[in-house]
Structure 1
Amino acid sequence: MANPNKQKGTAWESAVRDYLNRVLGLSAEDGRPVDPFDALNVRRAAQEGAKDVGDVHAVPFILECKDVTKGAVPTFLRQAEVEAVNAGFPYGVAVVKVRRANVSVGRVHYTVRTWTRVRLALGLNSRTFAQRYGFTMSLRGTDTGRWYATQSLADFAQVLDDIRRLSR
């Protein structure tokens, strides 16, 4: 892989996948999956066909992972939501690396629409959802298309675990 930006992106996607599998108890200490055939394993997606299906699949979320110096979060979120539709997943979020920090503090961004849908699926009111899972809101101007909710990857792992428990 000659492109250094591609290498950085791939490394970030792998770090996100490995972290989520570890904290969700889906991988052994050596990093290998406990059950390689478990549909709930977090996986890096292989790109096939013309439509992008996201970087990491963490059922029921598509994660669009970004290792960039300056982020355009609304653009990343639009991309994540399109890719979630392409992959047939209900939720798309963007996961942005924080420089010189542990993977667990990576920033997970949701559109207000996705945040609301996840909140309703968990049966929580806005205040409880925001407090329980460490969300902050970015409400920039009057264009609601630029508003988003953010949490750490560690807090996202808890959302993911809780929403999966409801589906069982």
Structure 2
Amino acid sequence: MPNPSKAKGTAWESLIVGYLREHHNPDARRNVQMGAKDIGDIDGYYLHATEAKAEKSITLSDYIAQANREAVHAGQPFGCAVVKRRMKGVADGYVVRDVATDVRLMNRLRDMEAALKSVAPAAFRLIDAQHREAA
């Protein structure tokens, strides 16, 4: 008899990959599990090792510890968990990381934006305008 929890997790991973392919990276894909050196469930979320979680009981500390460990294995600077929100689709799920990881990500974004703005201000303004749509 198939494992329903595994099937639910696989379905969630597949939905995330579909969303990433449409909105972020057409090359996103599910990873093959690597055991002790696992590199996350999904490849293709820029700069991240991604853990997909679709569980009734949410344990954020476990998810983040796992994502951060797998980011090291994957050679990615950031780890995150994409947690399913009950009765909602992928766009309403949660991307979760610890504050230290988020601050490192925001510092990188800030520094990269400052660099682009200094060497190509017109390109910066164009990209900035494209990404300022309201949530």
| Shorter-normalised TM range | 0.7 to 0.9
How many residue pairs match? The answer is 111
Matched, 1:15 2:15: yes
Contact 1:56/1:63 (CA < 8 Å) preserved in 2?
A: yes
**CA apart distance, 1:25:** 6.3
Q: 1:61 to 1:25 in 2, by over 3 A?
A: closer
Partner secondary structure for residue 50 of structure 1: helix
Unaligned runs of 5+ in 1: 27-40, 125-161, 163-168
Q: Greater Rg, structure 1 or structure 2?
A: 2
Per-residue Cα deviation, 1:77-134 (whole angstroms, up to 9, x for no partner):
000000110111111001110111121010110111110111001107xxxxxxxxxx
1:119 paired with 2:117, answer no
* Number of the residue aligned with 1:109: 96
- Structure 2 partner of 1:96: 83
% same residue:
41
Q: Secondary structure at the match of 1:9?
A: helix
- Root-mean-square deviation (CA, aligned residues, Å) is 1.8
**1:118/1:4 Cα in 2 relative to 1: closer, same or farther (>3 Å)?**
same
Residue 62 (structure 2) pairs with residue 72 (structure 1): no
Q: SS in structure 2 opposite 1:7? A: helix
Separation (CA, whole Å) in 1 of partners of 2:50 and 2:35: 18
For residues 101 and 17 of structure 1, what CA distance do their matches in structure 2 show?
16
**Structure 2: which 5+ residue stretches go unaligned?**
112-130
Structure 1 ranges of 4+ moved more than 4 A: none
Write 1 or 2 for the structure with the bigger share of helix.
2
